[in-house]
């Protein structure tokens, strides 16, 4: 017979949350952002099913929560919860979303960069306003969210969540005398940061992007005359939509009378996030005219020119290091091989509480292959955040018989936090912010260590990009004080 458990006290809950936060610090990659998608059709279609498929294509952008909102012009239904798309949208939930005559909807996959990973923070968020019911899904961060939230609270606004997305939807609702397009444009002018948003009422879907274009957003056309907006092109492909173009930085687009309308709200100053090409986006994506896989190959080629190595084999850390490893191999002439096998069933969110178990988890996720035995290996990865996982991988290769391990990273050292929708950890936890490259090399146990230069990233992408997490220069502004996320939690 099981012992009956009483609910945790507030003190116990606080202690448990602290343990989880500490445990979750054991990651050596920037954490995902969010994925957004919107669908509009001139005729009734299975909007819920299309959004669910689209979210599967965007699952890599966030695994903490998922949500879908649909409308038939009269009814508006939202279903959302914590978990993966496959976990949240079982058949019962999908049946609730399949309302008769549905023509439009939006969806979201979430990683919590602002607002705790709790069910009430899952998106889409909705609000009743003078414009009817509005729903919103958001990727990125508003750096002045706390300031605007305080102003709204002083004017009687009510907030139900602790994430910054609710600030925008409340701001839009506040402008009662303006129509939805005008109110959204005005809100865009007041908000700062890196963001892409899909927004809907019962009749139409809007999509918008910040003036720097930090976060991606693309437009697709359905064969039946409908429109799709999504964080990345693979979601369009899965839905059979034809890629049209990217939403331009600072642009607001919406569907009116079946046609795509556009307003250039903010002066464009394109500096999209470099990490979209380095790590976040799917390899088959095309963002702002630049292929993700091709850019990663070029990063590897640049890295080989900047940091050559005397070695026998180039080995990627799967999966995001593969493109750069191919490029390094091509430029250096050193053979490429899969020296690490990635277990596809190991999962991504299971954090072990002890160092010993974390080491075993690394072995579960990655296993060296016989290809590395007796070889001098160039190990190519996309980034180092804390250095913990990198050190374990280097040791795995040594234990498997690699005689030397030369680590090459296809991004510069991460020295600063991101305020635009990526959880890169606090600056004090970033190993490159507190250690020299030589100290990091010693920490991870590599024979040599080199990072790609900022110029190398720019050349690989082929245009201006945001490099704030590397150089501390934030093109879309910064919060007035540190800890906006914590401030929103306590507000």
Please give the Cα distance from 359 to 342 (Å, whole number).
15
Where in 157-250 does DSSP place strands (E)? 193-200, 205-209, 218-221, 227-230, 242-246
288 in a labelled binding site: no
Q: Which residues contact 115 (CB under 8 A, 6 or more apart)?
A: 121, 161, 162, 163, 164, 165, 485, 488, 489
Please give the distance of CA 275 from its chain centroid, rounded to a whole number: 9
- Please classify residue 293 by burial: count the beta carbons closer than 10 Å to its beta carbon, then call 0-12 exposed, 13-18 middle and 19+ buried: middle
- Contacts of residues 458-462 at CB distance under 8 Å and 24 or more positions apart, as own/partner, are 459/298, 459/302, 460/277, 460/295, 460/296, 460/298, 460/299, 460/301, 460/302, 461/274, 461/277, 461/290, 461/295, 462/290, 462/295
- Give 378's DSSP letter: E
34 belongs to the catalytic site = yes
- Contacts of residues 358-361 at CB distance under 8 Å and 24 or more positions apart, as own/partner, are 358/26, 358/388, 358/392, 359/392
112 in a labelled binding site: no
25 in a labelled binding site: no
Residue of 28, 29, 33, 34 marked catalytic: 34
Please give the Cα distance from 61 to 108 (Å, whole number).
10
- What is the pairing mode between strands 205-209 and 251-256? antiparallel
Please give the Cα distance from 323 to 303 (Å, whole number).
12
196 in a labelled binding site: no
Q: Which residues contact 436 (CB under 8 A, 6 or more apart)?
A: none
469 in a labelled binding site: yes
418 in a labelled binding site: yes
Task: Kindly state the greatest CA–CA separation across the chain.
Answer: 73
**Alpha helical stretches, state H, 130-232:** 145-154, 165-174, 180-190
User: Which uninterrupted H or E stretch holds 450?
Assistant: strand 448-451
Binding residues for Mg(2+): 320, 381-382
Binding residues for [4Fe-4S] cluster: 273, 418, 466, 469
User: Could you list the active site residues?
Assistant: 34
């Amino acid at each position: 017979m099981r012992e009956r458990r009483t609910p945790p006290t507030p003190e116990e809950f606080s202690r448990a949350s602290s343990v989880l936060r500490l445990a979750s610090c054991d990651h050596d990659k920037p954490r995902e952002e969010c994925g957004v998608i919107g669908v509009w059709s001139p005729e009734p279609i299975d909007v819920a099913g299309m959004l669910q498929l689209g979210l599967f294509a965007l699952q890599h952008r966030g695994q903490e929560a998922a949500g879908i909102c649909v409308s038939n012009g009269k009814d508006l239904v939202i279903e959302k919860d914590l978990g993966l798309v496959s976990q949240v949208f079982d058949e019962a939930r999908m049946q609730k979303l399949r309302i008769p005559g549905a023509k439009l909807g939006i969806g979201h996959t979430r990683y919590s960069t602002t607002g705790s990973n709790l069910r009430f923070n899952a998106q889409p968020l909705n609000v009743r306003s003078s414009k009817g019911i509005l729903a919103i899904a958001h990727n990125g961060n508003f750096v002045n969210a706390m300031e605007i939230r305080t102003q709204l609270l002083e004017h009687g606004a009510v907030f139900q969540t602790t994430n910054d997305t609710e600030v925008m939807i409340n701001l839009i609702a506040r402008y009662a005398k303006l129509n939805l397009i005008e109110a959204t444009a005005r809100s865009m002018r007041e908000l700062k940061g890196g963001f892409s948003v899909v927004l809907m009422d019962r009749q139409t879907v809007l999509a918008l992007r910040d003036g720097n274009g930090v976060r991606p957003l693309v437009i697709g056309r359905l064969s039946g005359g409908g429109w799709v907006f999504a964080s990345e092109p693979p979601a369009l492909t899965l839905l059979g939509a034809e890629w049209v173009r990217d939403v331009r930085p600072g642009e607001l687009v919406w569907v009116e009378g079946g046609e795509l309308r556009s307003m250039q709200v903010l002066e464009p100053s394109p500096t999209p996030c470099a990490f979209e090409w380095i790590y976040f986006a799917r390899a088959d994506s095309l963002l702002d005219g630049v292929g993700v896989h091709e850019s990663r190959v070029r990063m590897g080629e640049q890295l080989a020119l900047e940091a050559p190595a005397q070695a026998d084999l180039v080995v990627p850390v799967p999966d995001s290091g593969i493109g750069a490893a191919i490029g390094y191999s091509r430029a250096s002439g050193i053979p490429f091989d899969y020296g690490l096998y990635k277990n596809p069933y190991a999962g991504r969110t299971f954090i072990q509480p002890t160092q010993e178990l974390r080491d075993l988890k690394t072995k579960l996720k990655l296993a060296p292959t016989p290809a590395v035995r007796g070889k001098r290996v160039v190990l190519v990865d996309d980034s180092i955040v804390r250095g913990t996982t990198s050190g374990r991988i280097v040791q795995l290769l040594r234990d498997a018989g690699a005689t030397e391990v030369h680590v090459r990273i296809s991004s510069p050292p991460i020295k600063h936090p991101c305020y635009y929708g990526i959880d890169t950890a606090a600056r004090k936890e970033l190993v490159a912010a507190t250690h020299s490259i030589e100290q990091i090399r010693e920490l991870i146990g590599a024979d040599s260590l080199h990072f790609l230069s900022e110029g190398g990233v720019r050349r690989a992408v082929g245009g201006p990009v945001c490099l704030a997490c590397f150089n501390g220069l934030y093109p879309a502004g910064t919060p007035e004080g540190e800890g906006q996320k914590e401030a929103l939690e306590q507000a």
